[in-house]
């Protein structure tokens, strides 16, 4: 079972906020009134060396003591609220769990995702409340796939609404035009060999690779309105729109724009050698 962290964060933020607000409205005034009564009872409470000051201080600690739940709420709410705003509307970190985006992204890469470039969405329910930009061909995008609506996926935007996508003999064609590819190298990986190339899409170039030992999976489709066709850069080792279909606009999370750390496992040492923008 996958933990719904956005939902948990929303519950924590609103829960701690409600506890703080309830105390401020209903309980804190009573504590302030009790403190005022102590000051009347001990008029010389400000004299530091006097006996009344000591009695006042003891009484103030008793009547002004906040419940433990309120103390925790006041301590955690500001931190949780800042995390909530940053994560929900600005930037969210993700870790790459699979090799489907190799060689662009490696397993263990920690990336940053722009949450507002495709529009402001409400957390948890994902409704767009403010449109800004639309995905472009070549964008590396985080989304919820149609077959797993509670798990983040990351792939490259290949097809926009209305595009005719064809993938034959391990070459992409969009609306009848083959994407330019430049061969770079053939890399051994155990018993397998991978051909790495540079592919032009959406006005920029990105790395991609195919497996020399796997047969081509030919595919052709027309992208539906309001949907996007997604593919991994590791073309022969990627579960993407060729397998589970097109991604509806409502399931977009954001645009991946940078790698900020690489940490493959707890047994390894974090590395910053891959820090940089995502092409």
Is residue 141 classed exposed, middle or buried when 0-12, 13-18 and 19+ CB atoms within 10 A define those classes? Answer: buried
SS3 206: strand
Whether 75 is catalytic is: no
DSSP codes joined into one string, 100-159: TTTTTS-TTEEEEEESSTT-EE-TTT--EEE------TT-EEEE--TT-TTS-EEEEEEE
Q: Which residue has the tokens 């105390």?
A: 23
Residue 236, CB-side half-sphere exposure with 13 Å CA sphere: 18
Catalytic site residue from 88, 115, 155, 255 = 155
Radius of gyration of the chain (CA): 28
The CA dihedral of 203, 98, 145, 120, to the nearest 10 degrees, is -60
Whether 155 is catalytic is: yes
Catalytic site residue from 55, 75, 88, 100 = 100
Contacts of residue 177, Cβ cutoff 8 Å, sequence gap at least 6: none
Residue 262: CB atoms within 10 Å:
22
Q: Give Dmax over CA atoms of the chain in angstroms.
A: 92
The catalytic residues are 100, 155
């Amino acid at each position: 079972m996958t933990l719904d962290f956005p939902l948990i964060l929303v519950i924590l933020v609103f829960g701690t906020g409600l506890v703080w607000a309830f105390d401020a409205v209903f309980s804190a005034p009573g504590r302030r009134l009790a403190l005022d009564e102590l000051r009347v009872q001990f008029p010389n409470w400000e004299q530091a060396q006097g006996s009344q000051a000591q009695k006042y201080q003891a009484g103030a600690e008793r009547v002004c003591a906040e419940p433990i739940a309120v103390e925790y709420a006041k301590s955690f709410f500001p931190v949780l609220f800042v995390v909530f705003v940053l994560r929900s509307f600005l930037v969210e970190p993700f870790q790459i769990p699979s090799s489907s985006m190799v060689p662009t992204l490696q397993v263990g890469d920690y990336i940053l995702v722009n949450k507002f470039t495709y529009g402001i969405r409400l957390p948890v329910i994902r409704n767009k409340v403010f449109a800004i930009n639309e995905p472009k061909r070549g964008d590396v995008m985080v989304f919820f796939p149609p077959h797993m609506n509670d798990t983040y996926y990351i792939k490259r935007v290949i097809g926009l609404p209305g595009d005719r996508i064809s993938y034959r003999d391990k070459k992409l064609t969009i609306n009848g035009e083959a994407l330019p590819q430049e061969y770079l190298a053939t890399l051994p990986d155990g018993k397998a060999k991978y051909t790495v190339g540079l592919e032009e899409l959406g006005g920029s170039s990105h790395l991609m690779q195919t497996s020399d030992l796997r047969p081509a999976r030919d595919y052709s489709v027309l992208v539906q309105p309001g949907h996007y066709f997604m593919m991994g850069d590791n073309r022969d080792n990627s579960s993407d729109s060729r397998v589970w279909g097109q991604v509806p606009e409502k399931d977009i999370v954001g645009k991946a724009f940078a790698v900020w750390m690489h940490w493959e496992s707890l047994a390894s040492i974090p590395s910053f050698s891959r820090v940089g923008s995502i092409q």
